[in-house]
Amino acid sequence: MTTPIYRFNELSSGAWDKESSINENSLLADGLLSTVPASRILVNTPPTAPGVGHLYVIGTSPTGIWAGNQNAIAVYTINGWLFVSPTENQKVITDTGQLYRYATGVWNTLALGSGETNTASTLGTGTGVFAQKSGVDLQFKSLKAGANTTITSTSTEVTIASTASGVVNTTDSNSIDFSGDGTVTTPLTASLKLDPTSTASVSITSQGLKVDSSANATTYSSFETVSSNKTLTNADHEKTLLVENTIALTLPNSTTVTQNIRVNVRLNSTGTVTFTPGSGATRQPSSGSLSFVNNSVYCEFNSATNTWYLTGALT
């Protein structure tokens, strides 16, 4: 009978030659508890002059007297070779510091102090935070808050939040700040350009950008009530047109409008305002009209390119 792990011989009552069993057990224990010369690991050919107590880890293709004992632990005793089958996850350390572990029928090497031979990876297409592995330490990049950003963490979560209000930049370096929780479902296709000195309120609706959220809020202080078709002129610069019914608004070329002008068109009652470019003029976006009561469309003309830029509640 032997012990279940290291296969030490068990002594039974009345056994003879107990000294041999005790000596073999001592030699096996001595070999397993000490480091093993690296030259005796995964050896297939038995040594010609082994020393008593020498321990070997046999390879996968043993020859001679070791034949049939692949992967076994062999200890030479005064009575010859003692073979012990390794147990799962049994380890042997060499005199050079190399660690060997027996697992799933194979001896594998593990460097002392290096941990498992694993690493980390990034899923998806975003920027990864894993940096490298150093010994047993998996090292990750830290998260650093940028401008207008905060990072807070708990025991289970990291929250990244913005501290700035939303801003849509214009092509002339001015900007508009948005507040509220409206959602844009119709993309804006033109540049956003509102007079930076304007007191008009700006909000986001399901139809796009809404300029002037109340009846009294306007972009400019000069008003004109419009109830019939109209062609814009230089005199309409920085004016709010209050439209009372359905009209057609003509956007002329630079022959009629000889300067860059800005006009706010507000629909005060039920109706529709269509924006038609005159001969030689174009508009951006090329389609869309104003049909939402108490909403506005902002028109800006670039005389150099004969282009009208429209933003606001276009449908």
- Tell me what the mean pLDDT of segment 234-247 comes to: 92
pTM higher than 0.75, yes or no? no
Least-confidence region, from 211-220, 246-255, 273-282: 211-220
298 assigned to some structural domain = yes
139 assigned to some structural domain = no
Where is the domain boundary, 80, 95, 111? 111
Where is the domain boundary, 71, 90, 111? 111
* Together in a domain, 190 and 265: yes
Q: What is the pLDDT of residues 155-210, one digit of tens each?
A: 889 899 988 755 444 444 334 444 444 443 334 433 344 444 444 555 544 444 45
* Together in a domain, 79 and 173: no
* Together in a domain, 176 and 297: yes
33 assigned to some structural domain = yes
Q: What is the pLDDT of residues 6-25, one digit of tens each?
A: 555 555 665 555 566 666 66
- Give the domain extent around 41: 18-111
**CA quadruple 22, 27, 30, 33: dihedral sign:** negative
* Together in a domain, 94 and 197: no
**Residue 79: per-residue pLDDT:** 82
**Residue 75: per-residue pLDDT:** 87
297 assigned to some structural domain = yes
Q: Give the number of domains in the chain.
A: 2
* Together in a domain, 75 and 206: no
* Together in a domain, 76 and 194: no
pLDDT class of 127 with cuts at 50, 70, 90: confident
Rounded to the nearest integer, the mean pLDDT of the chain is 79
Where is the domain boundary, 96, 111, 126? 111
* Together in a domain, 107 and 172: no
pLDDT at 288 over 60: yes
* Together in a domain, 185 and 285: yes
Least-confidence region, from 188-192, 272-276, 298-302: 188-192
7 assigned to some structural domain = no
* Together in a domain, 226 and 101: no
261 assigned to some structural domain = yes
46 assigned to some structural domain = yes
* Together in a domain, 101 and 172: no
* Together in a domain, 301 and 183: yes
- Tell me what the mean pLDDT of segment 120-129 comes to: 85
* Together in a domain, 224 and 305: yes
130 assigned to some structural domain = no
